[in-house]
Amino acid sequence: MTDIHLCQPDGAKSCAACCGIYNYVENTRDALAGRFLFRTRLFDRVRENRMSIEDYREVIRHRENAKRIYATIYTCEFVGFLDEGRRKVGCLLHPLGNGGNDLRTASFYGRDICEGHFCPSYQKLESHEVKILLAALDDWYLYGAVVTDIDFVKTFFSIVQNTLGDALDAGIIEHRRDLLDIVSRYFELKSSWPFRDTSRPRFGKYYFVGEEYDIARIDYQFLGAEPSPYDAIFASLSSFFKNKDELNRANLIIHDLMGDFCSAYTQAHR
């Protein structure tokens, strides 16, 4: 459990996953950034009293492709950039961006739900895990995708701690660029993984058909291989392997990252 505020942890990044931003079928970084930039500029007209919230909503409804991966999860039209540097994403209706006026009653879920919701990561992630994650990532797109994937984060820390035979000291890692670079390389697999399943709608380990979903499991028997020690990681990365050779290459990628981290941490800890 962590008491660190995961939604808006610092001035360099933020998370709006609970607003459904990764649930768009078109959910690449460029696609989402394009949506958010247009919305942010359009919402400035609401703040300047040149457009009503209803008119804003109508423009977005006609302009955007709102097709979702999972039909049940709402994708909020009021997510945009919160700063001029476009580093933080979040609620355009929030009072902090509107001179103290709370406009969240106009949202799909309403003010009370938006204000009171804390995702499972608050309960499942430990503070030392969050501190390392925050030090390694300064990117809203990756940060939101990683911090909400509990299995992806915790499996990394579990494996390296079991290998090292000791709990990690976040204070060491936070101030070592070499260690943070390795952690970043691992997290960046979320957007660069070469074995991603593109044959069906996926979100991490889940696949979706309309309002139904299930866990997509790797068929190791079909591949003629033993289950991988990195199975949870492969699931989080929406993996699909056509053959045993691809599985072996994937195992090597993760094995090398874990090995690099453990070696560098051992050197730093001496």
Q: How buried is residue 65: exposed, middle or buried, by Cβ count under 10 Å (0-12/13-18/19+)?
A: exposed
Structure confidence by residue, pLDDT tens digits, 63-75: 998 788 888 889 9
Instruction: Single out the residue of 93, 126, 127 nearest to residue 110, CA to CA.
Output: 93
Half-sphere exposure of 185 (CA within 13 A, CB side): 15
Structure confidence by residue, pLDDT tens digits, 177-217: 999 999 999 999 999 999 999 888 887 888 777 677 788 89
- Top mean pLDDT of 25-29, 40-44, 65-69 is at 40-44
CA distances in angstroms from 128 to 44, 123, 153, 182, 223, listed in the order given: 38, 13, 12, 17, 37
Rounded distance between C-alpha atoms, residue 109 and residue 132, angstroms: 32
Residue 85's identity, in one-letter code, is: G
Phi first, then psi, for residue 187 (nearest 5°) are: -65, -35
Rounded distance between C-alpha atoms, residue 125 and residue 146, angstroms: 12
Per the model's pLDDT, the better-predicted residue between 12 and 115 turns out to be: 12
Strands (DSSP E) along 200-256, which ranges? Answer: 202-203, 206-209, 212-215
Structure confidence by residue, pLDDT tens digits, 130-181: 999 999 999 999 999 999 999 999 999 999 999 999 999 999 999 999 999 9
Token pair of 109, please?
């879920």
* Average pLDDT of every residue of the chain: 94
Rounded distance between C-alpha atoms, residue 265 and residue 270, angstroms: 9
